[in-house]
A and B are shown apart, each in its own frame.
Chain A
Amino acid sequence: MVDAPAYVVVGALLFSLGVVGFLSRRNLIVIFLSTELMFQGVVVNLVALGRLHANLDGQVFALFLLVIAAVEAGLALALVVLMYRRRGTLDAHAWQTMRG
């Protein structure tokens, strides 16, 4: 087995990729995808650290997170659909109406 640090780094990498993607992409669905990536990074982290502490707490919480991710996916995609219907586009910049 590889050491725990390696798994945590992978998790961190996934999370960072998710953040970067969230902050820099314009497509609403891609933004949401990045959100999912952030979730998965956290899941990996949880599992690896659970293995480190030699108990199942991490894995149990990872299961929780999977459910939450799924629910959030449903919610977010519903919002995206509605937003698309409003503006006819999936571009996040279309929602800049609060611009000073």
Chain B
Amino acid sequence: MIETAYWIPLLPLIGAALIGALGPRLLRGGSHWPAVLGVAGAALCSLLLFAEVRQASPESFPRTRLLYRWIHTGGADDPRTEPADESALTVSLAIDPLTAVMLVTVCVVSLLVVVYSRDYMRHEGRPERGYERFFAFLALFVFSMCTLVLAGNFLLLYLGWEAVGLCSYLLIGFYYRRPEAAAAARKAFLVNRIGDFGFGLGVVLIYWTFGTLEYETVFAAVRAAMNDHVEAVQSILRLSGPAAARETMDAIQGRLTLIALLLFCGAIGKSAQLPLYVWLPDAMEGPTPVSALIHAATMVTAGVYMVARCGAIFAASATAMAVVAVIGGLTALFAATIAVCQFDMKRILAYSTISQLAYMFLGLGCFAADAAIFHLYTHAFFKALLFLGAGSVMHAMGGIIDLRQFGGLRRALPVTFVTFFIGGLALAGFPLLAGFWSKDEIIHAAMLHRPMLGNLALLTAALTAFYTFRMIFVAFGGPQRVPPGVHAQEAGWWMKAPLVLLSAGAILAGYVGVTIQPGGFAGLFEPRGFFHEFLSPALTPFASAASAVGLEGHQAVEGDHQLMYVSAGLAVLGILAAYLGYIVAPRVAEMIAAKAPGAYRLLYRKYYVDEGYDAAVVRPLWGSARILDGVDRYVIDGLVWLATAIPRLLGFMLRTWQGGLLQGYAVVMVFGVVLMALWVLLRG
């Protein structure tokens, strides 16, 4: 099983290396092949791995394999330490159902995006500038993401984490000559860095507390602590302070909360939640396949994956779970409100992604980790579909993606229209499509544990349906209009096939998480199916924490489908409102905007958050940088100048003694001789 797993990150890496080495000279227009083949191989292996994991018994997980011991201290060979003080930083892989699901999602969606990119990065059949660079970075990204998912310890996780951040920077700034793209790439990297700083501190704290970074050891220790096995805890942990049992348990609780919160900082940055979401809308400056892959389906989900993976730590701390849920709930609504007033299709989708990721965190925070991962999986399909569809529109419109500049494209771009529509239905949570099943479970869990957030989630669902279909109706409905000089036509099959496949996924992918039995929703469907059963061995900390808090899990209310009908109804309502507002009576929207200009402007300008950051953070930093530069130049260089002034002064003074005259030197020589002679004479 592990053998199959080796190939999953390795094949794309080889592809990337091949493109890097041979691309510009040899492959050129064929540079996509190593990427396509590498990622296809990875996808195949991930499916094989999934099959193997399914065959194996649930208790045999997680399976870890140590690949390489990097830094190794202590142990029997090291004379400087006790044998028990052995610790090592290693490269190790771990496999369990969660890994398998993530890998399938990542690799399959990546493959479709890479295939799509082959036509997207061409204009009139000719590859764009930097074609090779694009595919090399894309393959490198797939390698990084797979490493992150397969990691068996926090070190490799951190490596993958940073590597996907790097690839994101490289790909957002792909059109590096555009100042907006360069600025967006920098912003993404810096904002991520802030989150990663917290994440790094969390990892360091884990090492300091547990003495190791391996998942198995750390999570086992946490579980032992939570089960009040104090002796086990004291033997594994290295807590400083008194050894009294009670104090140990309190100390553990506090320490675990701190670790969880620090790790969550990284998730906030990487998965674009409040307050570190600001980089994601700007990241739309990158080519659309990048937005589809990295900023919708895979990289941004790394935060969700990490919280799920570290379930033992998070579930042990009620505070951390509360923080996760609250940030999730608030961000979902916040982002949805901004999306309502945007005109750039990609930015609408970006805010939508932020909102849906927030749903996932809400699910995690309400102990419904399997629902969150389920939503991650379905969301990957329909969000990638929507982004690729938007890319198709952009490609046809010659690079324009502003809704105000085109409309009524349903006849010109039929395949795009139909697939985009399907994706929109899934995103809006229209019943029976993938998004409905997963989103509904999260709402259900939220209603059980934190009803206020549950209501926010319902409101957000209605808004989601509204802004999604606002976008669809404006772009595809009504009379056709295109920017001048643009001839709108559908692209080739390299771009159409992924759209079709993803739309099939958007419809069908949800059914793996649903059981078909009489008496359920719409007479036939019961939430929770194969997907959840498959994942449960990997997500036990959440389930046990839920029962510890006294709640039996989110699916306890068998037979109660009220909430499902409510959320279905809200989705339909949102779509209807968009239909009325944008097809039936298009002037209504403008009238509403005119009636409440303040509110409209607030939403349109994204609550002025970017301006706020600029004023509160960016400008002060620039100012202090200038001050420090002045200090460096005048104070420090001044001190150096002073230090040199003394020799210079001495030299100036001594210079006057130099006559340059031959006889002057001779005089001094004579003096010297006389002195020597005197000394010789008087000595004796």
Contacts and interface: CB of A to CB of B under 8 A. Distances in A.
A100 B660 contact: yes
Given A23-B670, A96-B659, 16 more contacts: A24-B663, A31-B662, A92-B663, A93-B661, A95-B660, A96-B660, A96-B661, A97-B660, A98-B660, A99-B659, A99-B660, A99-B661, A100-B654, A100-B656, A100-B657, A100-B658
A39 interface: no
A56 to B, nearest CB: 26
Contacts of A93: 661
A32 B666 CA distance: 13
Given A19-B670, A23-B670, A100-B655, A95 B662 contact: yes
Interface string A83-100: 000000000110111111
B667 interface: yes
B658 A22 contact: no
Interface in A41-100: 92-93, 95-100
A23 B661 CA distance: 10
Interface string B389-402: 00000000000000
A67 B667 CA distance: 26
A29 to B, nearest CB: 13
A66 to B, nearest CB: 22
Which A-B residue pairs are the 4 nearest by beta carbons? A99-B660, A100-B655, A100-B658, A98-B660
Contacts of B661: 92-93, 95-96, 99
A37 to B, nearest CB: 14
B486 to A, nearest CB: 80
Nearest to A97: B660
A23 B663 contact: yes
Give the interface centre of A93, A99, A100 by most chain B CB atoms within 10 Å. A100
Interface string B644-675: 00000000001111111111001100100000
A95 B662 CA distance: 8
A99 B658 contact: yes
A96 B658 CA distance: 10
Interface in A14-33: 19, 22-24, 31
B291 to A, nearest CB: 72
Contacts of A96: 659-661
A98 B658 contact: yes
Contacts of B657: 100
Interface string B312-323: 000000000000
Contacts of A100: 654-660
A54 B271 CA distance: 110
Contacts of A24: 663
B354 to A, nearest CB: 74
Give the interface centre of B658, B662, B666, B667 by most chain A CB atoms within 10 Å. B662
A22 B669 CA distance: 12
Contacts of A22: 663, 666
Contacts of A31: 662-663
Contacts of B666: 22-23
B678 to A, nearest CB: 15
Contacts of B663: 22-24, 31, 92
11 contacts: A23-B666, A31-B663, A93-B661, A95-B661, A95-B662, A96-B659, A97-B660, A98-B658, A99-B661, A100-B659, A100-B660
A23 B658 CA distance: 16
B662 A92 contact: yes
Nearest to B670: A19
B255 to A, nearest CB: 72
A99 B443 CA distance: 93
Nearest to A25: B663
Contacts of A19: 670
Nearest to B674: A19
A82 B487 CA distance: 90
A99 B665 CA distance: 12
A23 B667 contact: yes
Contacts of B662: 31, 92, 95
Nearest to A99: B660
